[in-house]
A = this chain, B = another copy of it.
């Protein structure tokens, strides 16, 4: 990673004795609404052993569907707009932090490149909290077994390829995913609903209204959210970087994105997968609609540019810095880097 060493040096240049990553940081919650519960019995709860019992009346007004956002200002600002990072389903903003095998992730990479970054947890995930169900969220939360993403995210070579022992996992040939980090990756997973798209999109839209104009980088389930929020706020979302989006936008409103620079990145092993040809096909059809309406969306199939072995969790793959570099170069080419 000669390049990132150079950039590290650049970042450090502003500063005397040590590398500097962040000049300021903070967090906030955005969006959400109030929900009223009526007709439930009063409970007495002792929250802490040795504490005093408290009376909890479940009837009343609850805060629900807000979203947690953590922001970081780089030591040396070089991005022309803030970069918003939206994670995928069943995960949180942790996706972009330290990789499961312990290397700096895309959050640190883009901070070193001089971007102000807003990293969020979608509604109902992580530090955004979740609401009672079925009263507020419909349906049940989905929990994934440890082996499920191993196959579904194109890390393992099909059914039965998972093994708790990294040495005995059967990875796809040439896989860049670090098997020694897989167990840590499963610790990043959180329960998720499949019925919460509306409040999730509402909170992302509230974030965009608060901190944009901006560039949105979205992964997997974050992709369709980013498409739809950009369609609702084409004046505020100035560019979209979609990392294996798991769904598309509103085809009827494809024209809303005709002036938005869009980069979509797909990894390896898609054609041979049971589900990914369908998922990618849907996305490409949507991008075709954007193109017909006058847009110029760009798609990078990593294997076609000679980058092989990438899983759906490419920001955690061994070559994560190289992939971030591909995105950084595209953003620079569009004039978003000073």
- Residues on A lying within 8 angstroms of B by beta carbon are 14-29, 32, 34, 37, 45-52, 54, 56-63, 66, 68, 70, 75-76, 89-90, 92-94, 97-98, 102, 104-105, 108, 121, 126-127, 129-132, 141-148, 152, 164, 183-184, 186-192, 194, 197, 220-221, 224, 246-248, 275-276, 278-279, 282-283, 286
Contact = CB atoms under 8 A, between A and B. Distances in A.
A49 B143 contact: no
Contact of A62 (B126, B145, B275): B145
Contacts of A197: 49
Contact of A60 (B32, B98, B145): B145
B50 A248 contact: yes
A61 B147 contact: yes
A230 to B, nearest CB: 16
A171 to B, nearest CB: 19
Contacts of A282: 50-51
Contacts of A164: 61
B247 A50 contact: yes
A194 B127 CA distance: 19
A92 B93 CA distance: 15
Contact of A143 (B22, B132, B246): B132
Nearest to A105: B26
Given A144-B56, A187-B29, A68 B94 contact: yes
A61 B50 CA distance: 35
Given A61-B146, A146-B63, A18 B29 contact: no
A32 B188 CA distance: 11
A191 B130 contact: yes
Contacts of A20: 15, 20, 22-23, 75
A61 B19 CA distance: 42
7 contacts: A21-B23, A26-B108, A47-B90, A47-B142, A48-B246, A52-B278, A68-B94
A42 to B, nearest CB: 12
A61 B22 contact: no
B275 A54 contact: yes
A58 B223 CA distance: 26
A242 to B, nearest CB: 13
B50 A224 contact: yes
A142 B45 contact: yes
A133 to B, nearest CB: 10
Nearest to A127: B126
A48 B14 contact: no
Contacts of A130: 190-191
